[in-house]
Amino acid sequence: MNSSDHNHGGPTSPLRPAARHASPGATLPLAVRVEALEEDLVGIVGRPNVLSDAELRAPYEVDWTRRFAGRCAMVARPGSTAEVAAVLAACCARGVSVVPQGGNTGLVGASVPPDDSGTCVVVSTRRLSKIDPIDKAASQVTVGAGVTLAALQNAAAAEGFAFPVDLAARDSATVGGMVATNAGGLHVIRYGAMRQRVLGVEAVLADGTVISHLGGLLKDNTGYDLSQLLVGSEGTLAIITAIRVSLVPETPHRAVALLGLESTSRALDVIDKLRANLPGLQAAELFFEDGLALVRSHARLGPPLARAYPVYLLVEVAGRVDCTDDLLNALTVLDLPEDAAAIGVDTSTVTKLWEYRERHTEAVSAIGIPHKLDVTLPQSHLPRFEKDLRSLLAGRFPEATLVLFGHAGDGNLHVNVVGPDPNDDAVDEAVLTLVASFGGSISAEHGIGRAKARWLGLSRSASEITAMKAIKAALDPYGILNPAALFAGA
């Protein structure tokens, strides 16, 4: 069998599940079914790709934040769509639940086993790592779900294209995981999130059925868009095995400015002005004095500017030709004090300036296990939200350290709270309720996962949730796919 053979494993595959209509064999005790399943999976993916030893399972059982962990019976590592189909059919037939996992960089606890029962199977997609040749005429490429973001970006760059969704976890996050979470990242203001890049997916439903729509047609109104339905589905509807994405022309010239500012309101005002004057603006990232101090001490970095400011805004432009003058001209109209901006135009300075922003996540994790609350607010409410958030935490959670940063150009703040017990979600409830009172979303880009399932109703109406559950029940009638994600108590 080929490894990573997008488009294989469809209706004619010899591995196509025989158990499509079989109900999960739930009559035997779960432990007996799980034991039998191990033999099934060894028969499908081979012994080396079924990890049941505790030491080998361990990295798949705890999430990136260390806040969420569990135990699985085994990790299965299929190497093709056909193998994913057979693995899911076997799990379905045995009535054993499955947690899909890509790079395990997700931040809402949905990529790891939900409890310590040791009865689920983690299906790792990392071996689905094939990158097809780039279709230059269409500016598209089909990649396996296990391809990392960095590998996709490098493959695109080698042919004069770019894959413009970007995030700091680029070396580990997989394209499949990014589709499943509708990842946003650093360039949403210019290029949108994953949803905007996905032209089609191949995926395997809970019973092993393969659905594939990888043609990449720009116009294709032929019924429900199942590919887009899977964007942001967090492993609850299907395992994505391959993705057709659109690329953009490479923009090799980048220029970055790190600005020191007096307030969040001023940062938003700067973003508005830059948006109007800089068509190549692709990032507008916000952080604060205390977050910068944390990053500097964690990463041993010097100060970016001659003096400290309460608020920092990192902006980036990129283009086919040198865009330094565009950036400098746009900054001139802002009337900033001379020493309030650090400019980077060569790769090394650009990288150094980005470190102050990108290293926030690891710096936060270095001081404890964070409550990570990724939220969006209507842009105009950001300053008031920030003020209310700080006083809420100071009043109700005096032991908390707040580290706030995010994609201000998208109204997206990352609220990181370290101090309160990671197992106590009172702080999550308080912050998410505050967000909802501003008309915000409790998840901007990381998803709901396990971390926020209890509060889905703060952002979605009861009828929306009922409709979502109907879709889940139709595609995964036995509820075996990522059962703890998205819906509380599902």
Terminal CA-to-CA distance of the chain, rounded, Å? 36
Q: Pick from 24, 51, 60, 64: which binds ligand FAD (CB under 6 A)?
A: 64
Asked if 63 is part of the footprint of ligand MLT (rule: CB under 6 A), the reply reads no
Distances (CA, A) of 392 to 15, 223, 398, 434, 436: 55, 47, 9, 9, 14
Q: Where are the beta strands (DSSP E) in 366-410?
A: 371-376, 401-407
Q: Is residue 361 involved in binding ligand MLT (CB under 6 A)?
A: yes
CA atoms within a 13 Å half-sphere pointing along the CA-CB vector of 448 = 22
Q: Which of 81, 78, 66 is nearest to 9 (CA)?
A: 81
Q: Letter for the amino acid at 208?
A: G
Reduced to 3 DSSP states, what percent helix, strand and coil does the chain have, rounded to the nearest 5?
35, 20, 40
Q: Which helix (H) or strand (E) holds 73?
A: strand 72-76
Residue from the set 45, 107, 261, 432 that interacts with ligand FAD by CB under 6 A:
107
414 binds, among ligand MLT, ligand FAD, none (CB under 5 to 8 A by kind): ligand MLT
Q: Which C-beta is closer to ligand FAD: that of 280 or that of 406? A: 406
Residue 180 contact partner, candidates ligand MLT, ligand FAD, none, CB within 5 to 8 A by sort of partner: ligand FAD
24 and 95 in contact (C-beta within 8 Å)? yes
| 414 near ligand MLT, rule: CB under 6 A | yes
**Candidate list 183, 256, 317, 382; residue touching ligand FAD; CB under 6 A:** 183
Partner touching 173 among ligand MLT, ligand FAD, none, CB below 5 to 8 Å by kind: ligand FAD
Residue 64 binding result from ligand FAD, ligand MLT, none, given CB thresholds of 5 to 8 Å by partner type: ligand FAD
Nearest residue relative to ligand MLT (C-beta)? 361
Backbone angles phi, psi at 432, to 5 degrees: -65, -35
Q: How far is the CB of 129 from ligand MLT (least distance, A)?
A: 24
Residues 356-385 that bind ligand FAD (CB under 6 A): 361
Q: Which of 185, 242, 207, 201 is nearest to 361 (CA)?
A: 185
Position 374 contacts ligand MLT (CB under 6 A): yes
Structure tokens at 400: 């908390």
Answer for which of 181, 264, 376, 441 binds ligand FAD (CB under 6 A) is 181
Q: Which residues of 375-393 are buried (b: 16+ CB within 10 A; e: fewer)?
A: bbbeeebbbebbeebeebb
Name which of 132 and 425 has its Cβ closer to ligand MLT. 425
Rg (CA), the chain: 23
Counting contacts by CB under 6 A, is residue 168 touching ligand MLT? yes
CB of 190 to ligand MLT, least distance (A): 16
In whole angstroms, how close is the CB of 181 to ligand MLT at the nearest point? 10
Q: Which is nearer to ligand MLT, 5 or 410 (CB)?
A: 410
User: In angstroms, rounded to a whole number, what is the distance separating the alpha carbons of residues 7 and 45?
Assistant: 18
State the minimum distance, in angstroms, from the CB of residue 406 to ligand MLT: 6
Q: In the complex, what is the shortest distance from the CB of residue 17 to ligand FAD, in angstroms, rounded to a whole number?
A: 18
Binding track over 104-133 against ligand MLT, x by CB under 6 A: ---x--------------------------
Q: Report the interface residues with ligand MLT, using CB under 6 A.
A: 107, 168, 360-361, 372, 374, 414
